[in-house]
Amino acid sequence: MEITLVVGLMLALAGIVTYSVSTMTDWKNGREASERLRSVYLAQKTYLADFPSKSFATFTAAELIPYLPGRPGVMPTAKTASNQVLTLNFQVMPPVFTLGTTTYDPSGSLTDGIWDVGNL
C-alpha cells in the first residue's frame, strides 16, 4: 500500500513538472521572439533617424540589417510552439511576426510584450 502511494505521488509530481517545463518553454520562446521584434523596432527607429523622409512601409531587409544590434547579418526569425516558421513583417511599425496572412500572437494581447513589441 505504501509503495502504491509513493508511486502515485511520484507520478503526480512528474506530471506537474512536465506541465511547468512546457509552459516555461512556451514563455521562453515568446520572450525570445519579443526581443527579436524589439531589435528590429530599434533598427527601424535608428534607420528613420538617419533617413527621416523614408517611409517604414518601404523598408527592405538590406536597409535594416546594418542597424540591428550586434549586426547579425540576417533578419531575425522565430517559430511557433508547433515549430512552424514565422515571417517577420518589418514594413509595419512596430514589426510583427506573421503566420500566413495573420499576425501571430498566441498571448492575445498587443501590450504584454510577449510575441509583440507592445507599446515600447
pLDDT tens column, 45-100: 999 999 999 998 999 999 999 999 888 888 998 888 788 889 999 998 888 888 88
- Please indicate whether residue 51 or residue 117 has the higher confidence score (pLDDT): 51
Q: In this structure, what C-alpha cell is assigned to residue 66?
A: 546594418
Residue type (1 letter), 48: L
**What is the structure's pLDDT at 2?**
83
Strand pairing of 96-99 and 102-103? Answer: antiparallel
Nearest one of 48, 27, 62 to 94, comparing CA atoms: 48
pLDDT digits (tens, 9 = 90+) for 26-56: 778 778 888 888 899 999 999 999 999 999 8
